[in-house]
Amino acid sequence: MQAIVMHETGDPDVLRYEEADRPELGDGEVLIRVHAASVNPVDWKYRRGFVETPLPTVLGNDISGTVEASRADGFAEGDRVFGISASGGYAEYSTASAAAIARKPEAVSHEQAAAIPVAGLTAWQALLDRGGLQGGQTALVAGAGGGVGHLAVQFAKLAGARAIGVGSTRNRDFVLGLGADEYVDYTQQDVGEAVSSADIAFDAVGGDTTASLLPAVREGGILVTIAGAPPEEAAREREVRAELMVMSPKSEQLAQIAELVADGDVRVEIAEAMPLTDVKRAHELSESGHVRGKLVLTLAV
């Protein structure tokens, strides 16, 4: 098969389009002919060597495609599925555990489906599972225009909560258009001064942003971050819980999110869909930190 193989860490030039062996199919897994894969920030962090991974490797977690072969109950050749890859998604073929995939609804394109898994599960689990968000509460979402953040805003609204997005000036209309009740432009306002009683703050940005959200959370509230160490000591002083969350693949949640997209209740924003061979440019865009929604890589079928 053809795949994007990384033999060493570094700049985007280390991503090479070349021939590679098809991944071997294990028990409880399916082999998927990949139609689309998406790019997540963790991909370029692996590429940079910020997160260790054995080399050579094929990057990419999110995939959507057609089952080529199955050794898993409930999935058969020809099924259209999407989810989280076990062998790397930047390739013509990829394996995945049955517990990490779901059937793709007909009304959802492969490009949309490939954009869902990591971002969708992360937003869902941060707000609803870890944060326990309920109707009538307020959710503050930092990075609201990004791949994870734009889904988090919509999940908050579907839960019956008040959603406040945080981002740059350019994303204001986009985030408000997703249903956010309020928008804080961090280039113009201090988040802690603009918001003071959020039940949950969700940080999808990291860096200085994480601590800047604390003053916006009410006493007894929670700050959930996916982008770095939580400010636990400062949070305790304010009687706020601060936790780091790592997403867990869950087939049932993937299916739920896909149905929301299929029904038109959730919008998946695709910043750009480009051929797999343009992966270097996709990484450059992702690493810039200014992508609205998701970047998707497509493969000819």
Q: What is the CATH number of the domain that holds 66?
A: 3.90.180.10
Low-confidence ranges of the chain (pLDDT < 70): none
Q: Are residues 183 and 287 in the same domain?
A: no
Q: Are residues 220 and 278 in the same domain?
A: no
Give the 3-state secondary structure of residue 84: strand
Instruction: Tell me, yes or no, whether 261 lies in a domain.
Output: no
Q: Are residues 141 and 203 in the same domain?
A: yes
Q: Say what the pLDDT of residue 23 is.
A: 98
Q: What is the pLDDT of residues 145-181, one digit of tens each?
A: 999 999 999 999 999 999 999 999 999 999 999 999 9
Tokens 């007894």 correspond to what residue?
A: 220
Q: Are residues 51 and 111 in the same domain?
A: yes
Q: Say what the pLDDT of residue 103 is.
A: 98
Instruction: Tell me, yes or no, whether 140 lies in a domain.
Output: yes
Q: Say what the pLDDT of residue 261 is.
A: 98
Asked if residue 117 has a cis previous peptide bond (ω within 30° of 0), the answer is no
Instruction: Tell me, yes or no, whether 257 lies in a domain.
Output: no
Q: Are residues 44 and 125 in the same domain?
A: no
Side chain identity, residue 212: S
Instruction: Tell me, yes or no, whether 97 lies in a domain.
Output: yes
Instruction: Tell me, yes or no, whether 106 lies in a domain.
Output: yes
Q: What is the CATH number of the domain that holds 154?
A: 3.40.50.720
Q: Are residues 239 and 134 in the same domain?
A: yes
Side chain identity, residue 77: E
Instruction: Tell me, yes or no, whether 260 lies in a domain.
Output: no
Q: Are residues 158 and 68 in the same domain?
A: no
Distance CA 96, CA 82 (A): 9
Distance CA 192, CA 75 (A): 48
Side chain identity, residue 221: G
Stretch (H or E) spanning 42: helix 41-48
Distance CA 139, CA 182 (A): 11
If you compute the radius of gyration of the chain from its CA atoms, what whole number of angstroms results? 19
Total count of domains within the chain: 2
Distance CA 216, CA 200 (A): 9
Q: Are residues 111 and 224 in the same domain?
A: no
CA nearest neighbour of 69 among 29, 116, 17: 29
Residue 175, domain extent: 119-244
Q: Are residues 123 and 112 in the same domain?
A: no
Q: Count Cβ neighbours within 10 Å for each residue of 259-289 and write b for 16 or more, e otherwise.
A: ebbbeeebbbbbbbbbebebbbebbebbbee
Contact criterion met (CB below 8 Å) for 89 and 117:
no
179's tokens: 């249903």
Q: Say what the pLDDT of residue 300 is.
A: 84
Kindly give the pairing relationship between strand 198-203 and strand 217-225: parallel
Instruction: Tell me, yes or no, whether 254 lies in a domain.
Output: no
Tokens 């002919």 correspond to what residue?
A: 33
Q: Are residues 108 and 12 in the same domain?
A: yes
Q: Are residues 86 and 138 in the same domain?
A: no
Q: Are residues 238 and 176 in the same domain?
A: yes
Instruction: Tell me, yes or no, whether 273 lies in a domain.
Output: yes
Reported pTM: 0.96
